[in-house]
């Protein structure tokens, strides 16, 4: 049985034929036809998550791990607006989501009907494309049109690059009717295969490569890729090449410059011109480091090429001169034999500089007592290998960059928009998608409390491990210039509090652990990661007044 609403049953049929399998449903009445059609289909895994904001991030986490489109569906009105943060994240992070919003018929909009807003194109500023289905399908011609629209919408979630797509679906009452003869659709491919990179673009790029004595390859956020990692490790051996990565790039090699903020902090201002690249090559999505953005904007490269399958003109450093419409790994692999080395000291400078910085970091940490910096040092050493590590915004993902990319982790973070909303929900979705992998999310206290509805979810899995660094507020505002000296710092920027996560964890049957010093932290981690049939939460308490000062001392020490 399926819904007697033809648009809902046709959508369900094509969803399965396109190879999609998961949908996250939030409760409601107007979306009843979607719930009935999807939840009763034998080939679809339908997941119930009540809170729409959390539900959308949960789906985002699933899509991130499954590498395929995941759908979310909600009722009409403000429910749809709660999807906005996750949709924006998916748009800038390039994660495939199919967003289905049930709607009132058009004649009920703006007449005072309940639970009704203007839903058409409601996500216009941060969605790949929006579609609206008709209220009814009354002819074969109308069905053919809707069939094409649904095929195109699903394809758009993946091509030429992944992202969110919205389908608004009006339904009239009655909403709960059933039929044994649902609509079937025709499978169509509505996208063109990517063309080869134009020979003129390729030749211009190769010419600039050969002329450059200082080539900087800077990787943004990306999925793990062994082939890409191997390729870049090979390029990093060329004397004129430096490869800069971050944890969220998911690239790891001793030859990579993967502690960007550490490295830049120690370079004197009068030497900055010497490290200014002649050729800058970028790929991936966002870069965490504000320091490297500031540096490359102040000392721009002569030529900057961004590699993007969708030809995105990502001019982060305000010096973009060309775009290569391709996947970075594929393009660089195709031309790697045509990328010669050039006499230069650029790579050697960075490698020597990196070793000096690592020695200073080790010396500083050896004399550092209990504080956030020490906590992260312990966690990155003790968290189990071969696991997925989700870094919350905004201090966790920044602290991680100070310790470089550890090959035992795959790193994830909501750095598309970089909001604190949805951090735990995203990790929960990822853990659900890959039950055989430990998923650890490290979040600050405000990020956890903001997304505490993530625990209001019957689909939490035992492989979800939540670590909350509780320093009594938004600690980033205690050390970034501006708010750190503001009279309003604690009340309005850091939002100082005395809240604890223990009762929230217990309310949702999540195992709870806490640590207030180094010995307690090391002692409880074994049990925290032990096998159990429930997820676990570890709350680590540090002193708010010490963390900012330690971090400032750390960067001063590196700069000596």
Per DSSP, the residues of 180-214 read SS---------SPPPPPPPHHHHHHHHHHHHH-SS
Q: pLDDT tens, 59-107?
A: 999 999 999 999 999 999 999 999 999 999 999 999 999 999 999 999 8
User: How confident is the model at residue 65, as a pLDDT?
Assistant: 97
Between the two ends of the chain, the Cα-to-Cα distance in Å is 72
Question: Are the CB atoms for 347 and 261 separated by under 8 Å?
Answer: no
Domain 368-558 has CATH 3.20.20.450: no
Q: What is the 3-state secondary structure (H, E, C) of 81-103?
A: HCCHHHHHHHHHHCCCEEEEEEE
Helix (H) or strand (E) holding 526: helix 518-528
Q: Inform me whether the pLDDT recorded for 192 exceeds 90.
A: no
Q: What is the pLDDT of residues 148-169, one digit of tens each?
A: 999 999 999 999 999 999 999 9
pLDDT of residue 479: 67
Joined together, the tokens standing for residue 404 give 């470089």
pLDDT mean across residues, the chain:
95
Residue with tokens 């795959």: 410
Band (484; pLDDT cuts 50, 70, 90): confident
> Is residue 327 scored above 80 in pLDDT?
yes
The confidence score (pLDDT) of residue 493 equals 81
The predicted model gives 437-448 an average pLDDT of: 97
Sequence length of the chain is 560
**pLDDT of res. 70:** 98
pLDDT tens, position by position, 346-366: 999 999 999 999 999 999 999
Token pair recorded at residue 502: 């223990």
CA–CA separation, 550 and 552 (whole Å): 5
Instruction: Tell me, yes or no, if the two domains 2-174 and 199-353 fold the same way.
Output: yes
pLDDT of 476 higher than 80: no
Decide if 368 contacts 374 (C-beta within 8 A). yes
Mean pLDDT over residues 324-331, rounded? 96
Q: What would the mean pLDDT of 274-289 be, rounded to a whole number?
A: 96
Helices (H), strands (E): how many in the chain? 20, 19
State which fold the 2-174 domain adopts. Answer: Rossmann fold (3.40.50)
- Residue of 7 and 496 predicted with greater confidence: 7
10 Å CB burial of residue 236 (0-12, 13-18, 19+) is buried
Q: Tell whether the model's pLDDT for residue 194 goes beyond 90.
A: no
In this model, does residue 488 exceed pLDDT 90?
Answer: no
Mean local confidence (pLDDT), 477-494: 79
Q: Which residues pair with 387 in a beta bridge?
A: 409
Residue 560, CA distances (Å) to 310, 351, 357, 358, 556 in order: 44, 19, 11, 14, 6
Separation CA 101–CA 103 (nearest Å): 6
Q: What share of the chain is helix, strand, coil (3-state, %, to 5)?
A: 40, 15, 40
d(C-alpha 513, C-alpha 510), whole Å: 10
Q: DSSP for 406-436, please give it.
A: -TTEEEE--TTT--STTHHHHHHHHHHH-TT
Homologous superfamily (CATH) of 199-353 is: TPP-binding domain (3.40.50.1220)
- Residue 440, phi then psi, degrees to nearest 5: -110, 125
For a pLDDT cut of 90, what percent of the chain falls above it?
88
Helix (H) or strand (E) holding 441: strand 439-444
Structure-token pair, residue 325 = 């419409």
Q: What token pair was written down for 360?
A: 């200073």
3-state secondary structure 7-31: HHHHHHHHHHHCCCCEEEECCCCCC
- Between CA 172 and CA 355 the distance in angstroms is 67
Question: 193: pLDDT confidence band, cut at 50, 70 and 90?
Answer: confident
Residue whose pair of structure tokens reads 């045509």 in the numeric block: 338
- The total of other beta-carbon atoms located within 10 Å of residue 184's CB is 13
Q: What is the pLDDT of residue 195?
A: 83
- Name which of 430, 495, 494 is nearest 464 in CA terms: 430
Please report, for the chain, the start and end positions of each structural domain, with discontinuous segments joined by +.
Answer: 2-174, 199-353, 368-558
Per-residue model confidence (pLDDT) at position 489: 82
> What share of the chain has pLDDT > 70, as a percent?
100
Examine the pLDDT at 135 and tell me if it is beyond 90: yes
Task: Compute the distance between CA of residue 491 and CA of residue 197 in angstroms, rounded to an integer.
Answer: 53
């Amino acid at each position: 049985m399926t819904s007697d609403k033809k648009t809902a049953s046709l959508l369900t049929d094509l969803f399965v034929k396109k190879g999609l399998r998961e949908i996250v449903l939030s409760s409601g009445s107007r979306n009843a036809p979607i719930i009935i059609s999807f939840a009763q289909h034998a080939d679809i895994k339908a997941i119930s998550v009540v809170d729409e904001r959390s539900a959308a991030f949960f789906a985002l986490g699933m899509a991130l791990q499954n590498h395929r489109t995941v759908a979310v569906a909600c009722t009409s009105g403000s429910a749809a607006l709660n999807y906005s943060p996750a949709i924006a994240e998916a748009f800038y992070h390039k994660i495939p989501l199919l967003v289905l919003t049930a709607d009132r018929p058009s004649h009920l909009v703006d007449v005072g009907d309940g639970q009704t807003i203007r839903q058409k194109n409601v996500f216009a500023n941060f969605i790949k494309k929006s579609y609206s289905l008709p209220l009814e399908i009354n002819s074969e011609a109308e069905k053919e049109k809707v069939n094409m629209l649904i095929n195109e919408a699903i394809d758009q979630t993946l091509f030429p690059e992944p992202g969110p797509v919205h389908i608004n679906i009006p339904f009239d009452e009655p909403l709960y009717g059933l039929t044994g003869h649902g609509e079937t659709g025709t499978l169509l491919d509505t996208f063109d295969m990517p063309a080869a990179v134009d020979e003129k673009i390729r030749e211009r790029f190769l010419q600039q490569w050969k002329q450059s004595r200082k080539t900087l390859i800077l990787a943004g956020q990306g999925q793990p890729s062994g082939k890409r990692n191997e390729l870049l490790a090979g390029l990093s051996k060329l004397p004129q090449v430096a490869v800069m990565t971050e944890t969220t790039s998911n690239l790891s090699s001793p030859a990579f410059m993967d502690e960007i903020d550490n490295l830049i902090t120690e370079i004197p201002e009068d030497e900055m011109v010497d490290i200014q690249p002649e050729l800058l090559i970028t790929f991936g999505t966002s870069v965490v480091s504000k320091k490297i953005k500031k540096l490359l904007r102040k000392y721009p490269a002569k030529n900057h090429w961004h590699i993007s399958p969708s030809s995105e003109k990502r001019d982060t450093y305000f010096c973009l001169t060309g775009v290569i419409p391709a996947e970075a790994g594929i393009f660089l692999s195709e031309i790697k034999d045509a990328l010669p080395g050039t006499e230069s000291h650029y790579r050697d400078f960075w490698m020597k500089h990196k070793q000096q910085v690592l020695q200073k970091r080790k010396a500083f940490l050896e004399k550092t007592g209990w504080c956030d910096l020490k906590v992260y040092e312990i966690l990155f050493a003790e968290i189990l290998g071969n696991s997925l590590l989700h870094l919350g915004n905004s201090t966790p993902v920044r602290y991680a960059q100070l310790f470089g990319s550890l090959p035992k982790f795959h790193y994830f973070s909501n750095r598309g928009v970089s909001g604190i909303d949805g951090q735990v929900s995203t990790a929960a979705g990822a853990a659900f998608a890959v039950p055989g992998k430990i998923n650890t999310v490290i979040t600050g206290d405000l990020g956890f409390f903001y997304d505490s509805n993530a625990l209001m979810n019957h689909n939490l899995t035992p492989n979800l491990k939540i670590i909350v660094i509780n320093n009594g507020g938004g600690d980033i505002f205690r050390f970034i210039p501006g708010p750190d000296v503001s009279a309003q710092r604690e009340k309005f920027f850091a939002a100082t509090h005395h809240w604890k996560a223990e009762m929230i964890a217990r309310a949702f049957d999540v195992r709870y652990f806490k640590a207030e010093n180094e010995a307690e932290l090391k002692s409880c981690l074994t049990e925290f990661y032990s096998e159990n049939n429930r997820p676990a939460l570890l709350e680590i308490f540090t002193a708010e007044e010490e963390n900012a000062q330690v971090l400032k001392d750390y960067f001063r020490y590196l700069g000596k």
